[in-house]
Amino acid sequence: MASSSLVPVLPLLLLLLVCPDMAVSAAAPGGSSCYTRLFSFGDSITDAGNLASLSPNISVLEPPYGETFFGRPTGRFCDGRLIVDFIAAALRLPFLAPYLTGRTANDFRQGANFAVAGATALSHDFFRDMGLNLTLIPPYSLDVQLEWFKRVLHLLGPTEQERKDIMSRSLFLMGEIGGNDYNHPFFQNRSFAAEIKPLVPKVIQKIESAVKVLIGLGAKTIVVPGNVPMGCIPRYLAMFRSINPGDYDAAGCLRWLNDFAELHNRALKRVLERIPRDPTTVTVIYGDYYGAVLEITRNPHKHGFTNLIACCGDGGPYNSGSLFSCNATSIVCPDPSKRISWDGIHFTEAVYRFVARGVLDGPYAAPSPILSKCRC
């Protein structure tokens, strides 16, 4: 009796040995991972080294980036791992190779990361026509990343049937993407009402088009994250400081910026619900990054966090006095795991772990979390 009672526990113990950080509660009993590959698109929230491979002098390649997990900078805009890294671990997949560092099919055997820090949903030409300074806007928009993916798909699957098999057994993480379409004009002091807010339907349409492309190629499971609470980001809090207490919520976030992020997210959810697909074979999951981060900011002590001040920065009320304020000479907090923001724009590994769990297991995914149908 005693030995038979241990049988159901063994798969869970094995899972925890493979993915100790995730402690995935939604894993079903049984065999292998539900996805054989993971492909990700997006910007700096997901970029694991693509921009760094193009810019060897970028500050993200200096300490203290990477100090929490890797012990060295890896090209990730974080002190450690990203959401995509935790998702890969839960699926028993290795860290994805950044597309621009790969060379052969073997480099992408279990997936690829196409995200580029600073990337936008809308095209580079769009922002050129808008009159923005393109210095900090890389020409690797969502359309470009999709073309990269098609190259990898043909590299991995020479025949149409092989490509169909790859698409059907892969998980696709579409972003987060779109945040930089607003960040770049915000950081260049463009008008919110006249120039930035009107971008929302254009950004949403571009994301919708990308999801349709993947479905057309045969994708069966696509996760599309929403925007994060912009009003809780130190760089924005420093830029738009107000003397009116009513401009802030109880957590200290700027209401109007969070309202704007919610506007984007509502539009995105509406579009995802109406994208034509066979619901019996294709699942499009909304990743509620906004809800997950907002939970942490509203209840920081419950989740082991302290405040909205950036862990790594160059001083000021939010330790975020400039756009890219983290480098080897920065003021760095002693324990990044207790901070929400890493460098004033990006989050810490601890936050990314929390968000990943919410999308993998729930409750920050709709209509269902990633692992709800898995046999991991």
Of the candidates 356, 337, 306, the residue with the CA atom closest to the CA atom of residue 67: 337
Under 8 Å between Cβ of 152 and 173: no
Which run of H or E residues covers position 56? none
For the record, the structure tokens of 143 come out as 């359309």
DSSP reduced 3-state for 197: helix
| C-alpha span between 289 and 347 (Å, rounded) | 12
d(C-alpha 303, C-alpha 296), whole Å:
6
What is the secondary structure of 310-369 as a DSSP string? -SEES-TTTT--SSS--STTSEE-S-GGG-SBSSSSSB-HHHHHHHHHHHHHSSSEESS-
Neighbouring C-beta atoms of residue 175, cutoff 10 Å:
27
The pair of structure tokens assigned to 286 is 């909304």
Active-site residue among 44, 141, 320, 325? Answer: 44
Which one-letter amino acid corresponds to residue 167?
M
Whether residue 346 lies in the annotated active site: yes
Q: Establish whether 44 is a catalytic residue.
A: yes
In angstroms, the CA 265 to CA 70 distance is: 33
Distance CA 352, CA 339 (A): 12
Q: Are the beta carbons of 311 and 348 closer than 8 angstroms?
A: yes
Residues 6+ apart with CB under 8 A from 120: 43, 126, 127, 137, 141, 142, 177, 178, 180, 181, 184
Among the options 47, 85, 181, 343, which is catalytic? Answer: 343
Angle, in degrees to the nearest 10, between helices 200-217 and 255-274: 30
**Which stretch of DSSP H or E encloses residue 167?**
helix 160-168
Q: Choose, from 47, 79, 346, 361, the residue flagged as catalytic.
A: 346
Catalytic sites, residue numbers: 44, 343, 346
